[in-house]
Amino acid sequence: MAYITTDKGVITLCNITNVVEFDKIEDGKVWVYYTVNNVLSQEHTDIFSLIPYSRAEEYQRITAINGNYINAQHEDTPSGSNLYPYKYAMLLSDDSFVVHDTGGNDSYLGESELLLMYAEIGGTVYFRFRTIQNSGGRYYDAFDIETSELISEWIERGAGDPYEEGGISGTGGGSGTFDGTGDAIGFPSLPTLSAVSTGFVTLYAPTLAQLNGLASYMWSGGFDIDTFRKLFADPMDVILGLSIVPVAVPISGAQDVKVGNISTGISMNKASTQYVNVDCGSLQVKEYWGSCLDYAPNSKCQIFLPYIGTRSIDIDEIMGKTIHVKYAVDILSGALVANIMCGSSVLYSFTGACASSIPVVSRDFTSIISSAIQIAGNIGMAVATGGLSTPVTAASAVQLGVAAGQTAMNVANSKPSVQHSGAVGGTSGMLSVQTPYLIFELPRQSLPKGYNTFGGYPANITLQLGTCSGFTKVEMIHLENIPATDAELNEIETLLKAGVIL
Amino acid sequence: MTVNISYNASEKNKLTKSFTLLTSLTGEMVNESSVTDPVLLIQNLTDSVVANMNYAEIVEFNRKYFITDIVHVRQNLYRVTLHVDVLSTYAEQIKNHSAVVSRQENKWNLYLDDGVFKTYQNPQIITKAFPSGFTTQNFVLAVAGG
């Protein structure tokens, strides 16, 4: 080998031009025979230690292995009047890199240096010596595996591909897990803490007769204002709210209604909890076509939810699945959430309000009316969207060569989206439909007789052509073992890709 | 050289064609000729053959041909231009090939977007109700204190 070890870790020799033989790799070092002045020496010397390549430390790049060439690259760094190779690395067969540091400016090296490029592929070692010129720039070196022919291209510093610093493309991907397992997302549980537990609020589920009795009491003279606990300026302030809710209120038993801790003598059923579930049941959504027409964008779906309104849902998420709607209702505030389970997971949650407030004092009535007016302003609003493709007009439909009619996707995209309802919360909700329902918009086919015989249906399947019958259109094929001319082969491929009848 | 003149009733893009032999001719190649696009000078063709012939086979070339042109040169002499029917000629070899088939008459996957399948502008609207909903109404009275 044409190298010796110096205290700088550099292994270089001067004026060595003869290739020597590789001996062995041992203890992480490469051992070779080298010649000096054409005299073969049989001494062994280590070249460098094999270390893992670290790109962060090495600014040189190894170009790709292509064909029979293994490219190594290094860059000269200027050092006074003499320029010496600073670092270079070589790719080894185990994807590790050998980093060789020449140590830079060393007058002992003289004007030329010999650098070893080494690689081991398939158990065979290849190596090459070359002489480095002393000038700034970059060498792109390669040597042929079979012939050891050295090819070297000198690139001046700054020249080359301006984008090369951004990285060279390579292979990638193929490491997907293909793990399609998921987690079921169930309906949420009702909250465990509620206002009725605090003692600050008591909820009653009175009958109409009981409400009549309480109203009579509140307006009667039997109310002793002196014994009224001074928590309220107005006894009516004790009544926090009276509403109608569209749910069955769970009760914990009858209780005397107290106003400001004063017994009214009116007994009402007390609500046991603030939150109630309303289960609207399940629907099995089945494919109508058994094809892509059942899915977006060809088909669409909306859902009407009582006390919420109409909402759009992704038909792809419900098709072929069981759809389960369950409401969680807060009977104190009237707020509710409709959770929609598609298959095994809740995919949609929509909020609304279901309590219809009954005015007890004048301010209640005012707020109720203003809320109703605001809700009324949203009803019936149509939102036109879509129109992504130009509708077929009469003029274009008769244009020569243009077939009339639109494909399923164009029809779906050209339709505006119309809102089927506005906000239907509170009293408005009680005036609306009380059962959820799905609204499907499905395409209506325009199918010429014998369509599949003329043009077939999409396949994207690898088939042996001999097993096919009828119209067949090929997308990809490799024609071989056919005693046809080149022109005939081209014509065969063209015809197969245009469609043939087998 | 043997040339079979026929009438082909099948589609041009059909792999295996159904043709009716009209006449079988023998002769010699006088000049050079393309194997894939030969031009034949044929004598003494009957009127019925001329009227119906659109297909040919040259046995020695091992190929079948479409008749692309018939020129009446002079009395009883026609110049017939042929172009090789590659599908029929190499039908057996083609059948042995596997290919990625994009469209097929009998083997398909309808979950692939067709791209050319047409629908009418008036979709069908279907509503489906859930089994139950809100079926009751009750008063709720909220009172401060216990």
- CA quadruple B108, B114, B118, B124: dihedral sign: positive
Q: Give the span between the Cα atoms of A499 and A251, in whole angstroms.
A: 73
Q: Give the span between the Cα atoms of A68 and A119, in whole angstroms.
A: 12
* Nearest one of B19, B69, B17, B18 to B42, comparing CA atoms: B69
Q: Specify the DSSP class assigned to residue A136.
A: S
Per-residue confidence (pLDDT) for residue A369, from 0 to 100: 57
Torsion of CA A336, A342, A344, A350, to 10 degrees: -20
Specify burial of residue A164 (Cβ count, 10 A radius: 0-12, 13-18, 19+): exposed
Three-state secondary-structure class, residue A106: coil
Torsion of CA B4, B7, B13, B16, to 10 degrees: -60
**Residues of B whose CB is below 8 A from A279:** 132
* Nearest one of A168, A67, A59 to A121, comparing CA atoms: A67
Cα three-residue angle A32-A37-A39, rounded to 5 degrees? 60
Q: Decide if A419 contacts A381 (C-beta within 8 A).
A: yes
Give the closest of A242, A457, A495 to B139, CB-based. Answer: A242
Question: Could you please report the per-residue DSSP string of B47-99?
Answer: HHHHHH--EEEETTTTEEEEEEEEEEEETTEEEEEEEE-HHHHTHHHHHT-EE
Contacts of A375 (CB under 8 A, 6+ apart): A422, A423, A424, A425, A426, A428
Query: CA nearest A292 in B: which residue?
Result: B111
Cross-chain Cβ contact B110/A206 below 8 Å:
no
Query: CA nearest A283 in B: which residue?
Result: B130
Phi, psi of A339 (to 5 degrees): -100, 130
pLDDT tens-digit map of A335-358: 999 999 999 999 999 999 999 888
Strands A300-305 vs A309-313: parallel, antiparallel or unpaired: antiparallel
Q: Give the span between the Cα atoms of A310 and A298, in whole angstroms.
A: 20
**Residues of B whose CB is below 8 A from A273:** none
**Residues of B whose CB is below 8 A from A331:** 140
Q: Specify the DSSP class assigned to residue A467.
A: G
Cross-chain Cβ contact B144/A499 below 8 Å:
no
**Residues of A whose CB is below 8 A from B138:** 205, 244-245, 247-249
Chosen from A435, A469, A490 to mutate, greatest number of chain B CBs within 10 A? A435
Per-residue confidence (pLDDT) for residue A360, from 0 to 100: 74
Q: Decide if B56 contacts B80 (C-beta within 8 A).
A: yes
Per-residue confidence (pLDDT) for residue A107, from 0 to 100: 28
Give the closest of B98, B115, B132 to A435, CB-based. Answer: B132
Q: Which two tokens stand for residue A156?
A: 């001046």
Secondary element (H or E) of residue A429: helix A426-430
Q: Specify the DSSP class assigned to residue A399.
A: S
Q: Decide if B114 contacts A210 (C-beta within 8 A).
A: no
Position B139: which residue type? F
Cross-chain Cβ contact A458/B115 below 8 Å:
yes
Give the closest of A452, A465, A500 to B97, CB-based. Answer: A465
pLDDT tens-digit map of B51-63: 999 999 999 999 9
Cα three-residue angle A262-A265-A271, rounded to 5 degrees? 85
Q: Decide if A430 contacts B135 (C-beta within 8 A).
A: no
Q: Decide if A321 contacts A342 (C-beta within 8 A).
A: yes
Sequence-distant contacts of A28-31: CB under 8 A, at least 24 apart: A30/A1, A30/A116, A30/A118, A31/A1
Starting from the edge strand earliest in sequence, which strands make up the sheet with A300-305, in order?
A309-313, A300-305, A437-442, B124-129
Per-residue confidence (pLDDT) for residue A12, from 0 to 100: 35
Cross-chain Cβ contact A203/B84 below 8 Å:
no
Residue B99's DSSP bridge partners are: A463, A477
Q: Give the span between the Cα atoms of A73 and A84, in whole angstroms.
A: 14
| Residue-averaged pLDDT of chain B | 93
Torsion of CA A103, A106, A109, A113, to 10 degrees: 40
Mean pLDDT of all residues in B6-30? 93
Give the closest of A261, A446, A483 to B119, CB-based. Answer: A446
3-state secondary structure A222-239: CCCHHHCCCCCCCHHHHE
Position A361: which residue type? V
* Nearest one of A458, A449, A383 to A420, comparing CA atoms: A383
* Nearest one of A308, A424, A441 to A374, comparing CA atoms: A424
Cross-chain Cβ contact B87/A500 below 8 Å:
yes
Cross-chain Cβ contact B100/A408 below 8 Å:
no
Q: Check whether B93 has a pLDDT greater than 90.
A: yes
Per-residue confidence (pLDDT) for residue A391, from 0 to 100: 33
Mean pLDDT of all residues in B99-108? 95
Q: Specify the DSSP class assigned to residue A316.
A: H
Q: Give the span between the Cα atoms of A412 and A168, in whole angstroms.
A: 44
Three-state secondary-structure class, residue A245: strand
Cross-chain Cβ contact A482/B94 below 8 Å:
yes
Cross-chain Cβ contact B114/A239 below 8 Å:
no
Cross-chain Cβ contact B140/A332 below 8 Å:
yes
Distances (CA, A) of B103 to A219, A472, B12, B86: 82, 6, 19, 21
B75 touches chain A (CB under 8 A): no
B131 touches chain A (CB under 8 A): yes
Per-residue confidence (pLDDT) for residue A387, from 0 to 100: 32
Selected residues 350-389 of chain A with any CB under 8 Å from a CB in chain B: 354-355, 358
What value of ipTM does the predicted structure carry?
Answer: 0.93
3-state secondary structure A51-77: CCCCCCCCCCCCCCCECCEEEEEEEEE
Per-residue confidence (pLDDT) for residue A109, from 0 to 100: 28
**Residues of A whose CB is below 8 A from B110:** 289-292, 457-458
A198 touches chain B (CB under 8 A): no
Q: Decide if A326 contacts A187 (C-beta within 8 A).
A: yes
A231 touches chain B (CB under 8 A): yes
Cross-chain Cβ contact B101/A463 below 8 Å:
yes
Distances (CA, A) of A236 to A265, A364, B103: 17, 12, 77
Q: Give the span between the Cα atoms of B16 and B89, in whole angstroms.
A: 9
Position A43: which residue type? E
Per-residue confidence (pLDDT) for residue A119, from 0 to 100: 44
Give the closest of A201, A293, A457 to B103, CB-based. Answer: A457
**Residues of B whose CB is below 8 A from A468:** 101, 104, 106-107
Which stretches of chain A score pLDDT less than 70?
1-161, 164-165, 221-235, 361-406, 408-409, 411-419, 421-424
CB pairs under 8 A between A and B: 340
Q: Give the span between the Cα atoms of A441 and A437, in whole angstroms.
A: 13
